[in-house]
Structure 1
């Protein structure tokens, strides 16, 4: 067996070995990069899912307005993230802290088109700098979309767009930098795999601030009772939820930051189990609460399970995923009931899905993680810090807009619908041939 006892020097002299090593490295890079680009496309599809959910749950007279916001939101999100958000979120902290800005990265992005730039500073897997930007930009736009659904049907379009520019361009990337950019929360040991807090709760806090300041829709709460306002299309809402479930495979799967077959596989299993058990929890909780088979709560239960599982999709077991998702489905029903008690009108249940279950999922890391270093107290501290920053910032932005240009449409426009007044067309038109 002496023939296999080669020294490192002897191995390095084997003809063609260095070339083989280089080829393997290139193949790994290509595989990782293709997977990340596929995940980017899946996350992009989630914007279509959000559009379906919000349009389906919203009233027919506001269809075009809702679709307009859901179309412009990723546009503004991607552009503002390119202008400054990307470099604010990943500044490369020399010493973990609360603020840094990478001006060199800004110059590299705008004045360089090299194909050879590979992320090595903060990404665990090998893939290109450009793929990394695009994947992260999809996440950024998602945070603003969460706000859109909660305050639909009564917010001024220009006020919402102004909020989106500031929230996605500054608030979201700043908070994200504290963990994903190597900032103070990362040094503290706070863990959020794919954004239960950094994406969903941040968006949820923004939605809550908007709901408080914009106020409920006319006729939503009458004589102490909650009045249901039928959505335009239940089938469209269901299609939107399934598109979001589909896109979540990229949302969580891409957060592995490589095409590692073992880790990607378990993350996708955990993601799917969380969604399924969340739908089951929403189904049962709604049945006991309302004594009916509530499709809307089953759909939101699926989303709740997905949000809840996102913080620890790489450190949960399948068993804990079922429990976390199921509890998320119950929480989304209880949260929706509680918000109505407070007369906080959330059209699509965004606060309940993304804020309530985002908090629960992040705390669940401290309870169910397979990594013993993850602490419940640390997770709670991170949730509190991110929540305080997100809510204060969103509330301030909305308040300044409210006292300056106004954030709510007129009563006349709200009653008759925003489509005809702000867009000149309706979402559903039946034309009869004469």
Structure 2
């Protein structure tokens, strides 16, 4: 009987691993597809003469960032941590302490999607003016060291924030605030595009060349988020209810973000700003990502409503500060990554301040997201400043005027037929 019981137990374990492997594989592939969403969204929001350079930067995120995360970053994120750092490199077959029912290699692949999503946030903020090879160098640094350190703090079982009870389920802080505040620093050091501000310092609108393209990119990202958040369960067996909760909260927050942005722009400007509505949906998605596992559906709607207004206010404020962000990446990801992480401390069903849980979780969330945001901003600012003063980070004036596509890549997004 013992032998039979042992066989049944082994078969059950293998079945669980098989089901969880299929679930995570599908989610990881969909998360990878989100890079197509980033590419289309950002390409549509910039001028046609620079749209292929955006495609190139997203490709660089994947190929350079992916190899850097494989060779160095994953070991820093999920190796044996002292709370702040890990010193392992590569992918090992040892137990990394997360109770995984999938292989470490598959876990690496889904985590790769998070790493390249974080750096893809930066690509939009530096659009139309940054040298491609210098950007590639920053991608390697970011995916090899910067992002993995934040992931170590948040998701490594021995990370200092993980041990404090910090809740960032799918990355409002570790992915979005990390990428958003890196984008902020990079945009400041890089400076605005030519013609973005007039002689009085007032912003001049530079419309994107293909808004339907941007909208399709937004829809792909929206679709991908239903793998990004539910896939962070890292398994399907035993998580049926949790996956449903996460998917529901993810949709409700995104829809509410779109509604509040649509209403806000209509009453403020007398017209619906559809480009901002796209960003409002994304803002709701970013904001719910941290707490999608532990907030209720009504709270998810409220979080989305706030995020959808917050992104509009942030875009205008950032523009007035003469920080040129062609796609609104800082407002969508940085500001709402910050807000969404803090919202966990307010709206968590069990430990949130508004649900009688006291202030402990809120304080932990504040500390975590502020440290991550400051770390990302300061380190990016230093790296970009060093690169600016040494090899240079910006294309020359003639290339920026003519368009990066034609000068750097020798191609145009749209050929002219005679």
What TM-score, normalized to structure 1? 0.91
CA distance in 2, matches of 1:27, 1:74: 32
Out of 384, 390, 401, the residue aligned to residue 376 of structure 2 is 390
Q: Is the 8 A contact 1:62 1:418 kept in 2?
A: yes
Q: Is the 8 A contact 2:201 2:322 kept in 1?
A: no
Report how far residue 120 of structure 1 moved: 4.5
Q: How does 1:247-266 map to 2 (within 5 A)?
A: 247-259=224-236, 260-266=239-245
Mapping 1:232-311, distance limit 5 Å: 232-259=209-236, 260-311=239-290
Please, which runs of 5 or more residues in structure 2 have no aligned partner?
Answer: 352-356
* Corresponding residue pairs, total: 407
2: CA distance between counterparts of 1:330 and 1:122?
40
- 1:343-362 matches, within 5 Å, as 343-362=322-341
- Structure 1 residue 391: deviation in Å? 0.8
1:77 maps to 2:56 = no
- Which 5+ residue runs of structure 1 have no aligned equivalent? 1-11, 110-116
Post-superposition CA distance 1:273-321 (Å, at most 9, x none):
1111111111112223322110111000010000000001100111000
1:99 matched residue in structure 2: 85
Dislocated runs of 4+, deviation >6 Å: none
Q: Is the 8 A contact 2:42 2:214 kept in 1?
A: yes
Q: Is the 8 A contact 1:221 1:343 kept in 2?
A: yes
Shift of 1:170: 0.5
Query: What secondary structure sits across from 1:179 in the alignment?
Result: helix
Distance in 2, Cα, partners of 1:353 & 1:212: 17
Q: 2:202 aligns with which of 196, 220, 225?
A: 225
Is contact 1:32–1:126 with CA below 8 Å preserved after alignment? yes
Name 2:361's counterpart in structure 1: 375
Query: Is 1:416 the equivalent of 2:416?
Result: no
Are residues 1:199 and 2:178 paired?
Answer: no
Q: For the residues of structure 1 that align with 2:98 and 2:23, how far apart are their CA atoms? A: 14
Cα distance per residue 1:398-429 (max 9 Å; x no partner): 10110001111111111111111101110111
Residue 39 of structure 2 contacts residue 58 of structure 2 at CA under 8 Å; is this kept in 1? yes
**Is the partner of 2:155 in helix, strand or coil?**
coil
Instruction: Give CA deviations for 1:119-178 in whole Å, capped at 9, x if unaligned.
Output: 743334411111101001111111111000011001111111111111111111012101
Which has more radius of gyration? 1
Quote the Cα distance in structure 2 between the aligned partners of 1:214 and 1:289: 31
**Counterpart check, 1:45 vs 2:33:** yes
Match status 1:430 vs 2:409: no
Instruction: Give the C-alpha shift of residue 382 in structure 1.
Output: 0.7
Say if 2:117 is the partner of 1:142.
Answer: yes
Mapped to 1, the partners of 2:294 and 2:83 lie a distance apart of 26
Aligned to 2:354: none
In structure 2, distance between residues paired with 1:60 and 1:418:
10
Conserved 8 A contact 1:276-1:305 = yes
Q: Does 1:407 align with 2:393?
A: yes
Q: What residue is the counterpart of 2:43 in the other structure?
A: 55
Residue 112 of structure 1: aligned partner: none
TM-superposed CA distance for 1:352, in Å, is 0.1
Which residue number corresponds to residue 8 of structure 1?
Answer: none
CA contact (8 A) 1:150 1:349 kept: yes
Q: Check the 8 A contact 2:173/2:337 in 1, yes or no.
A: yes
